[in-house]
Amino acid sequence: MILDRPIAIAGAGSIGCFVGGMHAAAGRRVAMLARPRVIDAIEANGLRLTSFEGLERTIASTQLVLSEDASIFADAGAVLVTVKSTDTAAIADVIASHAPADAVIVSLQNGVSNVPVLRARLPGHRVLGGMVPFNVVAHGKARFHRATSGDIIIERDHAGTAAQLSVPGLKVRSTMDIAGVQWGKLLVNLNNALNALGDLPLRQQLAQRSWRRLFADQMAEGLQVIRAEGIRPVSSTPIPAGWMPHLLRLPDAVFAALLGSTMRIDADARSSMWEDLQRGRRTEIDYLQGAIIAIAERRGIQVPLSRRVVTLIKQAEAAGKGSPGLTPQQIRAE
């Protein structure tokens, strides 16, 4: 049983701190592999969790095991992988060296390529795919704010891992089609780059039809490509993935009413890719738009907007000045 042993967080960034903190708040033992700056912030301030729903929790550092040494994985019942996709192979090797052979490994990462990497490097381990639909914003001083709605979804297994990982305020559901769920999330995550390039809060961005049309065109490219590959995306909202490009193009008032009935977005919410640019970190663009481009090349499909967005993100990464604050027209321009 997972509940009999600590839950390890492999990569205590925004998602890792929020998920791990919620488990600690529920009285579970949590071990977090974290960078020194994160450890120092938690030790100085406690781990503070907030949300658009009014959540307010502060977990004392003494309620957590915090370390940059992966030996804290030694007695873990579950390891939740929350590193960026670029770091998946490296963290898999760390887990292989330090986690028990019977620990269940759960990928709570963006993209669709992480689980195969984990399984290849962790033979004998039970590795489950997952999808986190909500956004977490790091506000500094160890405060992590959940800014959008949704339940975590993970791959169904015989042990009922999803139910064991559910705690008050953090529901985890299971699915028999985690690949479809992850592709559905990838389509939504195509907006991460647009949000990063535009330097606007998500809610403000989605309130503008010019931005939504750009997002719709990105999603339409993605849908064309993955359908050619025989992939059936599963939406994380009541709205089917195939309908989204059409709905995104609706007039502002109509779309606002529709969005309000399916998803809640805090005024502070921004994409994780925006945060990566602001902090001078490498983004996950190669695992989002890059995944679409890889299939398009294999299938002989033209995806000019996806290629344009990748180019702009890589230019922003190289410049190291944060978001370039582009308009939809500037993003479209060649």
Of 85, 53, 12, 15, which is closest to residue 271 (Cα–Cα)? 15
What is the distance, to the nearest Å, from the Cα of residue 132 to the centroid of all Cα atoms in its chain?
5
Q: Would you say the CATH fold of 179-332 matches that of 2-176?
A: no
Which structure tokens are listed for 107? 């990928």
DSSP state of 268: T
Distances (CA, A) of 268 to 62, 153, 204, 279, 294: 29, 24, 10, 17, 33
- Compute φ and ψ for 239, nearest 5 degrees: -90, 120
Determine how many CB atoms are found less than 10 A away from the CB of residue 140: 8
Domain residue spans in the chain?
2-176, 179-332
Determine how many CB atoms are found less than 10 A away from the CB of residue 121: 18
Distance, in Å, from the CA atom of 66 to the CA atom of 46, rounded to the nearest integer, reads 12
Superfamily the domain 179-332 falls into: N-(1-d-carboxylethyl)-l-norvaline Dehydrogenase; domain 2 (1.10.1040.10)
Distance, in Å, from the CA atom of 159 to the CA atom of 312, rounded to the nearest integer, reads 44
Of 5, 6, 14, which is closest to residue 34 (Cα–Cα)? 14
The four Cα atoms 50, 260, 131, 181 give a dihedral, to 10 degrees, of: 170
* The pLDDT value given to residue 334: 67
* The pLDDT value given to residue 106: 98
Distance, in Å, from the CA atom of 36 to the CA atom of 34, rounded to the nearest integer, reads 6
* The pLDDT value given to residue 218: 97
Determine how many CB atoms are found less than 10 A away from the CB of residue 3: 11
Distance, in Å, from the CA atom of 334 to the CA atom of 331, rounded to the nearest integer, reads 8
**pLDDT tens-place values along the chain, 334 residues long:** 677 899 999 999 999 999 999 999 999 999 999 999 999 999 999 999 999 999 999 999 999 999 999 999 999 999 999 999 999 999 999 999 999 999 999 999 999 999 999 999 999 999 999 999 999 999 999 999 999 989 999 999 999 999 999 999 999 999 999 999 999 999 999 999 999 999 999 999 999 999 999 999 999 999 999 999 999 999 877 888 999 999 999 999 998 887 766 678 888 899 999 999 999 999 999 999 999 999 999 999 999 999 999 999 999 999 999 999 999 999 998 6
Superfamily the domain 2-176 falls into: NAD(P)-binding Rossmann-like Domain (3.40.50.720)
* The pLDDT value given to residue 267: 85
* The pLDDT value given to residue 65: 98
Distance, in Å, from the CA atom of 246 to the CA atom of 262, rounded to the nearest integer, reads 16
* Residue corresponding to tokens 């033979």: 123
